[in-house]
Structure 1
Amino acid sequence: MPYVRHWLRNSVLLFAAAIVLGLVAAHTSLIQPHDLDLDRTIQTNTRTGWLNDVMKGVSYLASPVAGVIILAVWSGWLLFVRRRPVTAVSTFLVVAVGWNSTQIAKAIVARNRPPRQFSLDPEIGSNSFPSGHTAFTVAAAVAAYFLFRDSRHRRTVAVLGVCAVLLVAFSRMYIGAHYPTDTFGSVLVAGSAILFMTGVWHAWLLPRLDRIPVVTPLLDRFGLEREQAEIAAREEGGHAGVPGPGGPRRPGRHRRHAAR
């Protein structure tokens, strides 16, 4: 997980911007009519039988149940197969925190969903801003980029991540579950949470990862000490073992700047 300077200030500002956008969209007439018009334009001009099934399938892939399965399999693969415990924990936290941060924004904004008569797949939850499906995709895309940011595949991963976010966001508007500002707000909210997580990770979690009760013994079984040695070697400009893509770098320097 990379370190971002001024993570606390930037994460607070980004989250505040998202909340302001949500409150204006939900409780004034400045955005709501345009949101609904755009939703209806998408639904009227693009809905067909086969595309309905495709968009519902895309939406299901980013649903809470699918998200939990994807996150568990992904983190488990990094831990049990790749034996990269630090990378597994950091990936899990990026996705989980970025995704679940939407619950805070939903409670604050309390925006009603689009009219149910236009929905192909009515939602049980009532709060619309921001979109949890889109936030999950944003968080997963960012986590994937973190993993490959030092490899030659980073641009491909970044492009695929952006395409995945756009596709899921479109699917949520297509089936009538969200407004456009809900999906855009997800990018802001998930982004702010991930920024915050990068600071907490380098300032507090990473230096203490080998001293957390219960967790540390489990991680030790899958190569915690070895991966930490590789991280230290990269910090010193050396090379230890065969590092996988995306391990944390230069924790010492990050800790010195953690409060900024």
Structure 2
Amino acid sequence: MTLQPPAAPSTFRALPQPRHWLLLGSLLCAAVVAIGLGVQLIPGETAAELGVDQRLSLHHTAALTVLALGLNLLFSPVVGLLLTGVITLCMWLVRRDPVKAVAFFLTAGSGWVASEVFKLIFARQRPNPALLFDPLSPETGSNSFPSGHTCFAVALAFALYVLARGTRWARAAAAAGAITAVLVAWSRLYVGVHYPSDVAASFLAGSAAVVLLAGLWNRFAPGLVRRLPATALRP
């Protein structure tokens, strides 16, 4: 019987980050706050945005409805967490790269964390489904701003690009991630559970999350990885 050599310990890999990551992340967060304050303080802003949801609700088609509801399910908290967990386990157990697996999980999850923080700050009520012609997935509550689905889609797109970076699939992954995030944002308006400013702010919030996460990861993770025993870095 031939013995297989043990897998080489996983090594630290830096996440791509802008040079002034802390400044950029702070500015993106400030932009989200500015939008959140604007929709609360500008008279008639919410009513005007509701008109967009109402117009979309008047023009639902079977094919677009299937697409929108499918995206809403795929990027929902439960399914999104399951999807992220499956990819993370594949990286850990199949690709035998636990450090990169953790980096992927944290990056993808940072979008949800960012959305929950801003939701608590602004507590914006969702569009009233009773005012829509065809409410596809009636949701109520004070968690409209920003869209968690869209924040997660933005962060997941970045995380998948990180996995593909340095391969021939990098550009395709970046393009697919960007298109998917836009489609998820559209789906939340089509279904009628968010305002346009909710999904617009989500791109800023999700980007802020991954920028800050990348900076913190690159700053603190190398030291943590060096302190771990070699056995902890093998699946």
TM-score interval for Structure 1 and Structure 2 normalised by the shorter chain: 0.7 to 0.9
Query: Alpha-carbon deviations, 1:101-132, whole Å to 9, x = none?
Result: 11111111111101122231122543100000
**Structure 1 segment 145-156 matched on structure 2, within 5 A:** 145-156=161-172
Partner of 1:221: 234
Query: Alpha-carbon deviations, 1:133-165, whole Å to 9, x = none?
Result: 011111110111122222222221111111111
Query: Alpha-carbon deviations, 1:148-192, whole Å to 9, x = none?
Result: 222222221111111111111111101111011111111111111
1:57 is the counterpart of 2:70: yes
Q: Secondary structure at the match of 2:69?
A: helix
Query: Equivalents in 2 of 1:122, 1:42: separation in Å?
Result: 15
Query: Equivalents in 2 of 1:63, 1:218: separation in Å?
Result: 35
Q: How far off its partner does 1:218 sit?
A: 6.6
Query: Alpha-carbon deviations, 1:76-102, whole Å to 9, x = none?
Result: 000000011121011111011122111
1:170 is the counterpart of 2:186: yes
Tell me which of 29, 33, 47 is aligned to 2:43. Answer: 29
Partner of 1:248: none
Tell me which of 29, 35, 41 is aligned to 1:15. Answer: 29
Tell me which of 199, 203, 216 is aligned to 1:183. Answer: 199
Which structure 1 segments of 5+ residues have no match? 223-260
Q: How far off its partner does 1:53 sit?
A: 3.1
Tell me which of 37, 53, 66 is aligned to 1:39. Answer: 53
Partner of 1:82: 95
Which structure 2 segments of 5+ residues have no match? 1-14
Partner of 1:255: none
> Given residue 201 of structure 1, which amino acid in structure 2 is its aligned partner?
W
> Given residue 37 of structure 2, which amino acid in structure 1 is its aligned partner?
L
Distance 1:94 1:85, change over 3 A: same
Query: Equivalents in 2 of 1:22, 1:93: separation in Å?
Result: 25
Query: Equivalents in 2 of 1:218, 1:166: separation in Å?
Result: 41
Partner of 2:4: none
CA RMSD of aligned residues (A): 1.8
Partner of 2:144: 128
Distance 1:217 1:131, change over 3 A: farther
Partner of 1:194: 210
Query: Equivalents in 1 of 2:138, 2:225: separation in Å?
Result: 42
Aligned length: 218
Query: Equivalents in 2 of 1:80, 1:122: separation in Å?
Result: 39
Query: Equivalents in 1 of 2:85, 2:223: separation in Å?
Result: 24
Query: Alpha-carbon deviations, 1:13-49, whole Å to 9, x = none?
Result: 110111110121134226323311222222223x024
Report the TM-score, using the length of structure 2 for normalisation: 0.86
Distance 1:76 1:5, change over 3 A: same
> Given residue 97 of structure 2, which amino acid in structure 1 is its aligned partner?
R
Query: Equivalents in 1 of 2:21, 2:158: separation in Å?
Result: 16
Partner of 1:4: 18
Q: Secondary structure at the match of 1:101?
A: helix
Query: Equivalents in 1 of 2:40, 2:78: separation in Å?
Result: 27
Q: Secondary structure at the match of 2:124?
A: coil
